[in-house]
Every structure is written in structure tokens, then in C-alpha cells.
Amino acid sequence: MPHPHLTVETSPDGYRWLRLSRPERRNALDLSLLRAVTDALAFEPEAPVVLGSTDPRVFCAGADLTISEAERAAVSDLIYDCCEIVVTRPGPVIAVLTGPAVGGGAQLAAASDLRIAGPAARMRWIGPPGLDLAVGAWLLPDLVGRATAMDLVLTGRWVEAPEALALGLVNRVCADPELVAGQIAAELAGRGAGAGVKAVMSADGLLDRMRAERSANRSAWARAMSVPPVS
């Protein structure tokens, strides 16, 4: 079913575009949008996917802070189902970052197989204030090493495009990342590349760490929601 905040296009070159399209909320994720993204990634899993935004000013602001606490907890949990599909689907996923990616949005970007960024891209792994959530601890060590991953997860600081490239968080920074991502996706679709490489890359504990982070964050949300509000 089409979703009002997700555009899906099929390229004649054999790949699909998924574009988050909720600019009024900076593409923030509620359950409906996240489920739509998850379902779209699961559909035709062999096809390469390019994941981006209809608004070049932003990739994804993470969970929508205007929804209820219970729904934000559900979004926090479901993001791991979505990331698991990204990691395990045989077709590559290429994230196009032209603006900020925060929290769950940064998780989706980092879980993707390739990240093509524009000069204004920036990333930040951080959860809601007051919650001791681990955001991205499961995958950042594979991308940047343990020491840098600890820095990014513990401080929740911004990583701008030049530093992201230097650290290996993004694969390329270029003036037209959508064009470059489309060219890569078309080439991969033509060669049928990805399935074998992805199976090997996800075999060494990555999904175990993801499930451990998911469990820790479930516990953090449960503690937060069990505390009575201050009158």
C-alpha cells in the first residue's frame, strides 16, 4: 500500500528508490512511516535500494518527539527490525545523506551498505534526553573502531561530512550524491552483486550485538515508563 510519507520509485536499471517524505517533521519516524519503510525494504529483497529523502535539507530526525512516549518506545524497538532487514537482505542498500541524520535516522544510515553524502550531511547517534539508550553501539565499532565508536555513542556529538568521510562513516562526499548513488545502484543491479558479500559481512556477531542493544533499550524504556510523572 502506498504511504503518504514514503515515495517509492522503480528504476528501469533494476533498483528502487525509497524517499522519506515528511518534511514538516524533518522525516521524523512514527510507527506508520517506520513500518512502511520496513515493508518496502523487505519487498523484492534481491533488488538494490537507494534510501534518501524528498527534502535535501534532511535525511531523518529520528523518532518523532510529538508522539506518545509509548509509541516512541515502539519506534525505538522497531528500528532494529528495519535495520536487520537492511543488513540481511541480499540486495545492497545505499543511503543518500544530504542533510542531518539523527538517532534512528543515523542508525538506518549506518546500517546501510554504502553511504553517499553531500557536503551538508551530518550524523548524530543520540536518544531522547533522560534515557540511557544505546544508539548505534552495535554497528559503529565495525565502521570506525571501538574507541571512536565509544566517543560518538557516549557524547552524541555531531559528525560533519568531512569528518564522516575521514572516519569511514560515509563512503563518498560529492556535490550530487543522488546521481552517484543511482549510478552505483544501477551497476550493482547489472552485476547482481551483493548477496555473497553481505552474508559474509554480517556473519561475525553483528546481529548478536544488534539484539543486545535492542534488549538494553527495551529495558531502558520500561524503566522510564514505570516512573510516575512528577506533579
Residue 134 has pLDDT above 90, yes or no: yes
Number of domains in the chain: 1
pTM here? 0.94
Residue 231, domain member (yes or no): no
- 61 in any annotated domain: yes
Residue 1 lies in a domain: no
- Would 43 be classed as within a structural domain? yes
Residue 10 domain-assigned?
yes
pLDDT tens digits along 136-194: 999 999 999 999 999 999 999 999 999 999 999 999 999 999 999 999 999 999 998 76
205-211 contacts: CB < 8 A, separation 24 or more?
206/87, 206/138, 206/139, 206/142, 207/84, 207/87, 207/88, 209/137, 209/138, 209/139, 210/80, 210/83, 210/84, 210/87, 210/138, 210/139, 211/80
- Whether 119 is in a domain gets the answer yes
Please indicate, yes or no, if residue 161 is contained in any of the structural domains: yes
pLDDT band for position 196 (cuts 50, 70, 90):
confident
- The pLDDT value recorded for residue 230 is 46
Instruction: Tell me which residue has cell 551538508.
Output: 120
Question: In this structure, is residue 171 part of a structural domain?
Answer: yes
Structural domain for 84, as ranges: 6-178+186-226
Output the pLDDT for position 153.
Answer: 96
- What CATH number does the domain containing 13 carry? 3.90.226.10
Lowest pLDDT segment from 4-8, 50-54, 226-230: 226-230
Which tens digit of pLDDT belongs to each residue from 114-123?
Answer: 999 999 999 9
